[in-house]
Amino acid sequence: MGKFTNTAIIAGIAMIAFAGSASAVDIKDNASCTAEGGTMVNVKNSDYCLVPIRDEAYADPIYDGNQLGIVDCPGNKLQDGQYCMYPVTIRPAPAQTTATTPSTSDALTTAPSMDSAVDSMEEMATDVVDDMK
């Protein structure tokens, strides 16, 4: 009975060790992203791997690297938890530059006047009424 207990304990420790390695998938580049079934995307100057999240039934490490997805998502989950935005390279956002906009006086002088638009509409309405007579 002692041998069975020791064997069961050792088997339990081995299962815990392998279960821990299932979540140890580390995506560092395009090749490792593709190996997990993902696609690299660039969002706001940072690189992410858009990768499917596989079901718990396929959490064993034998499924890692077979384009089936990952088990744990360290980033944002998308599509009701079916996909993960796995952060690969996070970079600070570039400094915001101030956009030059035309001043309001320039906009007023270059925009067509509302009076001319109203006058055009009145002329068109008058022409239609005259044609109907």
In the predicted model, is pLDDT for residue 44 greater than 80?
A: yes
Quote the mean pLDDT of the chain.
75
pLDDT greater than 50 at residue 28: yes
Looking at the DSSP bridge assignments, the partners of residue 83 are 52, 78
pTM: 0.53
Examine the pLDDT at 21 and tell me if it is beyond 50: no
pLDDT digit string (tens) for 95-116? 776 665 555 555 555 455 556 6
pLDDT at 14 over 90: no
Task: Give 55's pLDDT tier (boundaries 50, 70, 90).
Answer: very high
Provide the percentage of residues in the chain whose pLDDT is more than 70.
54
Phi/psi of residue 89, nearest 5 degrees: -135, 115
pLDDT value of position 19: 41
CA distance 69 to 49: 11
Using DSSP, state whether 131 is helix, strand or coil: helix
Q: Rounded distance, CA 92 to CA 12, Å?
A: 44
Pick the most confident of 6-10, 45-49, 56-60, 89-93. 45-49
Q: Both tokens of residue 21?
A: 């390695």
Buried b (16+ CB within 10 A) or exposed e, 69-102: bbbebebeeeeeeebbbbebeeeeeeeeeeeeee
